[in-house]
A and B are shown apart, each in its own frame.
Chain A
Amino acid sequence: MSPSSGPSHFINPYRVLAKGLVLFIIINLAVAIVIPPYGRLSAYNILFLGRERFPYAGEAPEKVYNLTVTNLDAMFSSHVISLPKSRDEYRVVLLGDSSIWGASLRPEDTLAGQLNTANLVTCQNRKIRVYNLGYPRNSITKDVLILNRAMQEQPDLFIWMTTLGSLTPDRRLDHPIVLSNLSSVDELSREYNLSFATSEVSLVNFSFWDRTIVGNRRALMDWVRLQLYGVLWAATGIDQVYRTITAVNPLPELKADISFLDWQPPRFDPNLLSLDVLEAGMKVAGSTPVILVNEPILIITGQKNSNVRYDMSYPRWVYDQYRQVMDEESGKNNWQYVDLWDLVPSTEFWGDTDLHLTPAGEARFAERLIPYIQSASCP
Chain B
Amino acid sequence: MTLPYILIFTAVALFLGLVTRNRWRVYFLMGVSALAVFIMQPILPIRGLDFWLATATLALTVLSWIITAPPGVQRERSNLIAFGILLGIVVFVDLSRYLGIEEFIMATLPPRIGTLLVFLAVLVVVFWGAVFVKRVSPAFLLILSTVLLIGIFIVLKVPAFAMAVSGAIRSMLGRPVGRDYAADFRWLGFSYIAFRLLHTIRDRQTGRLPAVSLAEYVTYVIFFPSLTAGPIDRVERFIQDLRKPFVLGAEELTVAGKRLVIGLFKKFVLADSLALIALNGVNAFQIRTPGWMWVILYAYAFQIYLDFGGYTDIAIGMGHLMGIKLPENFIAPYLKPNLTQFWNNWHMTLTQWFRAYFFNPVTRSLRSAKRRLPIPAIILVTQLGTMLLIGLWHGVTWNFIMWGLWHGVGLFLQNRWSEFIRPRLAGLENRKWLNSSLTVLSTIFTFQYVALGWVWFALPDLTSSVYVFLKLFGFA
Chain A contact residues, CB within 8 Å of chain B:
1-5, 10-14, 16-17, 62-63, 224-225, 228-229, 231-232, 234-238
Question: Pick the contact of A236 from B273, B287, B316 — CB < 8 Å?
Answer: B287
Question: Pick the contact of B273 from A228, A232, A237 — CB < 8 Å?
Answer: A228
User: Which residues of A lie under 8 Å from residue B332 when comparing CB positions?
Assistant: 1
Which of B160-168, B217-225, B288-296 forms contacts with chain A? Answer: B288-296
Contact between B250 and A12, CB atoms less than 8 A apart: yes
Judged by a CB distance under 8 angstroms, whether B187 is at the interface is: no
Give the Cβ gap from B454 to chain A, nearest Cβ, in Å.
17
Contact between B287 and A4, CB atoms less than 8 A apart: no
User: Which residues of B lie under 8 Å from residue A225 when comparing CB positions?
Assistant: 273, 276
Contact between A16 and B254, CB atoms less than 8 A apart: yes
Contact between B259 and A231, CB atoms less than 8 A apart: no
Judged by a CB distance under 8 angstroms, whether B175 is at the interface is: no
Contact between B288 and A235, CB atoms less than 8 A apart: yes
Give the Cβ gap from B249 to chain A, nearest Cβ, in Å.
9
Complexed CA–CA distance, A338 and B159 (Å): 63
Contact between B254 and A1, CB atoms less than 8 A apart: no
Name the residue on B nearest A227 (C-beta). Answer: B273
User: Which residues of A lie under 8 Å from residue B287 when comparing CB positions?
Assistant: 235-236
User: Which residues of A lie under 8 Å from residue B296 when comparing CB positions?
Assistant: 231-232, 235
Give the Cβ gap from B7 to chain A, nearest Cβ, in Å.
16
15 A-B pairs with CB atoms under 8 Å apart are A10-B250, A13-B257, A16-B254, A224-B273, A231-B277, A231-B296, A231-B299, A232-B276, A232-B277, A234-B292, A235-B286, A235-B295, A235-B296, A237-B288, A238-B286
Majority SS of interface residues in chain B?
Answer: helix
Question: Pick the contact of B254 from A13, A229, A232, A237 — CB < 8 Å?
Answer: A13
Give the Cβ gap from B255 to chain A, nearest Cβ, in Å.
4
User: Which residues of A lie under 8 Å from residue B331 when comparing CB positions?
Assistant: 1-2
Among B280-310, those with CB < 8 Å from A are 282-283, 286-289, 292-293, 295-296, 299
Contact between A13 and B276, CB atoms less than 8 A apart: no
Complexed CA–CA distance, A231 and B288 (Å): 12
User: Which residues of A lie under 8 Å from residue B288 when comparing CB positions?
Assistant: 235-237
Contact between B251 and A5, CB atoms less than 8 A apart: yes
Among B326-367, those with CB < 8 Å from A are 328, 330-332
Among B228-263, those with CB < 8 Å from A are 250-251, 253-255, 257-259
Judged by a CB distance under 8 angstroms, whether B157 is at the interface is: no
Q: How large is the interface on B (under 10, 10 to 19, 20 to 34, 35 or more residues)?
A: 20 to 34
Complexed CA–CA distance, A12 and B253 (Å): 9
User: Which residues of A lie under 8 Å from residue B282 when comparing CB positions?
Assistant: 63
User: Which residues of A lie under 8 Å from residue B320 when comparing CB positions?
Assistant: 3
Contact between A13 and B277, CB atoms less than 8 A apart: no
Sort A-B residue pairs by CB-CB distance and give the 5 closest, nearest first.
Answer: A235-B292, A236-B286, A13-B253, A3-B255, A13-B254
Give the Cβ gap from A108 to chain B, nearest Cβ, in Å.
14
User: Which residues of A lie under 8 Å from residue B259 when comparing CB positions?
Assistant: 3
Give the Cβ gap from A290 to chain B, nearest Cβ, in Å.
37
User: Which residues of B lie under 8 Å from residue A235 when comparing CB positions?
Assistant: 283, 286-289, 292-293, 295-296
Name the residue on B nearest A237 (C-beta). Answer: B288
User: Which residues of B lie under 8 Å from residue A13 when comparing CB positions?
Assistant: 250, 253-254, 257
User: Which residues of B lie under 8 Å from residue A236 when comparing CB positions?
Assistant: 283, 286-288, 292
Taking A10-B250, A10-B254, A13-B257 as known contacts, 12 extra A-B pairs with beta carbons closer than 8 A to each other, sorted by chain A number, are A1-B328, A2-B331, A10-B251, A12-B250, A63-B282, A228-B277, A231-B299, A232-B283, A235-B287, A235-B288, A235-B292, A238-B286
Complexed CA–CA distance, A14 and B253 (Å): 9
Complexed CA–CA distance, A238 and B287 (Å): 10
Give the Cβ gap from B10 to chain A, nearest Cβ, in Å.
14
User: Which residues of B lie under 8 Å from residue A234 when comparing CB positions?
Assistant: 292
Complexed CA–CA distance, A2 and B262 (Å): 12
Name the residue on B nearest A1 (C-beta). Answer: B331
Give the Cβ gap from B351 to chain A, nearest Cβ, in Å.
16
Contact between B295 and A231, CB atoms less than 8 A apart: yes
Name the residue on A nearest B262 (C-beta). Answer: A1
Contact between A1 and B330, CB atoms less than 8 A apart: yes
User: Which residues of B lie under 8 Å from residue A224 when comparing CB positions?
Assistant: 273
Known contacts A1-B331, A13-B253: A229-B295 contact under CB 8 Å: no
User: Which residues of B lie under 8 Å from residue A238 when comparing CB positions?
Assistant: 286
User: Which residues of B lie under 8 Å from residue A14 when comparing CB positions?
Assistant: 250
Contact between B276 and A11, CB atoms less than 8 A apart: no
Complexed CA–CA distance, A231 and B255 (Å): 36
Name the residue on A nearest B345 (C-beta). Answer: A1
User: Which residues of B lie under 8 Å from residue A63 when comparing CB positions?
Assistant: 282
Contact between A2 and B255, CB atoms less than 8 A apart: no
Question: Pick the contact of B276 from A3, A4, A62 — CB < 8 Å?
Answer: A62
User: Which residues of A lie under 8 Å from residue B283 when comparing CB positions?
Assistant: 232, 235-236
Complexed CA–CA distance, A10 and B296 (Å): 40
Among B171-215, those with CB < 8 Å from A are none
Contact between A2 and B251, CB atoms less than 8 A apart: no
Complexed CA–CA distance, A5 and B249 (Å): 12
Give the Cβ gap from B296 to chain A, nearest Cβ, in Å.
7
Contact between B251 and A228, CB atoms less than 8 A apart: no
Contact between A229 and B276, CB atoms less than 8 A apart: yes
Complexed CA–CA distance, A186 and B473 (Å): 55
Contact between B257 and A16, CB atoms less than 8 A apart: yes
User: Which residues of A lie under 8 Å from residue B286 when comparing CB positions?
Assistant: 232, 235-236, 238
Name the residue on A nearest B269 (C-beta). Answer: A224
Give the Cβ gap from B285 to chain A, nearest Cβ, in Å.
9
User: Which residues of A lie under 8 Å from residue B250 when comparing CB positions?
Assistant: 10, 12-14
Complexed CA–CA distance, A64 and B23 (Å): 56
Give the Cβ gap from B32 to chain A, nearest Cβ, in Å.
23
Complexed CA–CA distance, A228 and B254 (Å): 33
Name the residue on B nearest A224 (C-beta). Answer: B273
User: Which residues of A lie under 8 Å from residue B251 when comparing CB positions?
Assistant: 5, 10
Complexed CA–CA distance, A1 and B316 (Å): 11
Give the Cβ gap from A37 to chain B, nearest Cβ, in Å.
22
Known contacts A10-B250, A235-B296: A2-B277 contact under CB 8 Å: no
Complexed CA–CA distance, A265 and B144 (Å): 87
Name the residue on A nearest B293 (C-beta). Answer: A235
Complexed CA–CA distance, A4 and B254 (Å): 9
Name the residue on A nearest B333 (C-beta). Answer: A1
Name the residue on B nearest A67 (C-beta). Answer: B276
